[in-house]
Structure 1
Amino acid sequence: MTMTKIAFFDAHSYDRDSFEMWNKDFGFDIHYYKERLSMNSIELTKGKEIVCVFVNDEISAQVIDALVKNGVKLVALRCAGFNNVDLPEAKGKLRVVRVPAYSPHAVAEYAVTLMLSLNRKVYRSTQRTREGNFRLSGLLGFDMYGKTAGIVGMGRIAKVLVNILKGFGMNILAYDKFPDMKWAKENGVKMVDLPELYANSDVISLHCPLTHETLHMIDKDAIDMMKPGVMIINTGRGKLIRTEDLIQGLRSHKVGSAGLDVYEEEAKFFYEDHSDRMINDDHLALLLMMPNVIVTSHQAFFTREALQNIATTTLQNCKDFLDGKELVNEVMAK
């Protein structure tokens, strides 16, 4: 019996280790490629029925047509977001599945990690003490207790985050285009519109998908509405924030600090080692120099539990497709 071939793009050692472990239960013939999927790497999909991709792979209209020509029938996203897929173009040509909830706890806990690290200047104090400097000047933080957190988007990750922040004794404001009012009432969350959330939050955390409506939702106008010294956390998608406006907000001290696990031009840098060369991106280089900014490499998802869920859900999505079953994690153009 011939095993179904999967072209696995943007593969790293941890991807391979995880998928190889769980693929023993599925028996796919997985071909791992370091390259990201684009027109430059499309040849690697020949003879494959399925492609497995991540957040920075390119599934444009041109790529979709080339995939179909090469015999690919399924795009399996091993992530929750699907903004890198041209869904209208895929309709009727390819089916697309994703992993909607690999670990809400992993991402929510990481958002809190960024909040606490920024607030208490843990990253700065660690650098100092390693050099023998034990002074406290410049390390002043604030009590999270009694402060207000504004959560944009109220999906699974945000709901876990709310429960964590409630444990700190924080007040919670939230915005969602389609709010779950019952859950909000039961959990002491006040649903508000964005201007009210911006104006009254000490910490703002972004947990909404990237769409035409949310593209650059944090821009100069949004920042102007915010409290002086606001902390902004983004573990969602980089393009939710207009970077140049965030930098101006940081320079003017309207934004007190920023924790960014994503960056709008991250595809050029993230998941690769650039330590032996200059960062050829003025905005990113500036953010990396700022003492009140933490930039990490899209790692909020990166826990053992999440990697297991990503692998098993992705492989089950592929099996369900081949077995002709309902694709419970399918995404389609509206």
Structure 2
Amino acid sequence: MSTTRVAPPSSVARRSGRALGLLPAALVLLVLVLISVGLGSRDVAPADVWQALIGSTDRADATVIREMRMPRTLIALVVGAALALGGTILQGLARNPLADPGVLGINAGAALAVVAGALVFGAMPASAAVWFAFAGAALATVAVYTIAAVGREGATPVKLALAGAAATALCGSFSSAILLADPDALNELRMWQVGALAGRYYPVLVQLAPYFAVGIVAALFTGRALNLLSLGDELASTLGLRIDRTRGVLFAIVALLCGAATAACGPIVFVGLMIPHLARLITGPDYRWILAYSTVLGPVLLLGSDILGRVLLPTAEVPVGVVVGVLGAPVFVLLVRFRRIVTI
């Protein structure tokens, strides 16, 4: 006679609570989307924003919202999700609270490859630049982990942070040198290099949408593998996980996410560092839920930072990469200082 296994009530309640917790995060994200498409040099009332989004008006405001502000907002959503998911996977892979595509130099490596490609081949569409970004992200990942793994202790959090900082500085210096060598041809890349959403419209979104879609969907299915890796390589292998192949796939997903994000709006740091820790505080150690929350909270952070950058100065706009960097730097310092109390 077969028996049906019933989950304990506490487990069901915990899962229900986690699922319901996504609702307020999604509502906050919706509010930020409405603010983003209505905020600019010419502010638009919320009612007019809604009319423009549903296509029931042909006013000039509607054209600005649909053709300029909406693509910028959508790019912020997918880039925020990609960076947050990439950071979550990296932290699970390395079992390291400081792992982040920006901190470890992955985004800087992708940016250097894009800048170098633009210097050699001239201005490129996003669909071509993304391949340079993939290659740069992959090479930076291998280089940083190889450097940090030297020595008896292996790739410790501090060594990874130091190696990533060195890689970021090196790649940033080379990128700046290339930009200074040909300022006219690479004028557009100068703003892109600091991480900016301004001037990113539908062509960029359409060209990169397939890479974002594949990367985000694939990342959401890595929860089980990350949970097993968190138990240690030996136990994960005993439970049937192919360690080397799984790590290779996970690193490929990170390179896909970070390469697409960097090609879209330049290197943006700290999103992948802060968001997984915030999600972990809400959900606990289960990576399936951490990934789900990161998909929502990453866009909340990036879009909120973009909105903040638009209102900080009366006559100019602060690039979103600068705003996120200012917000994330204290968090990074705290994680380094109190890393022993942070669990992965």
TM over 0.5: no
Q: Which has the higher helix share?
A: 2
Q: Which has the higher strand share?
A: 1
> What is the TM-score of this pair, normalised by structure 1?
0.30
Q: Which has the higher contact order (CA 8 A, sep 6+)?
A: 2
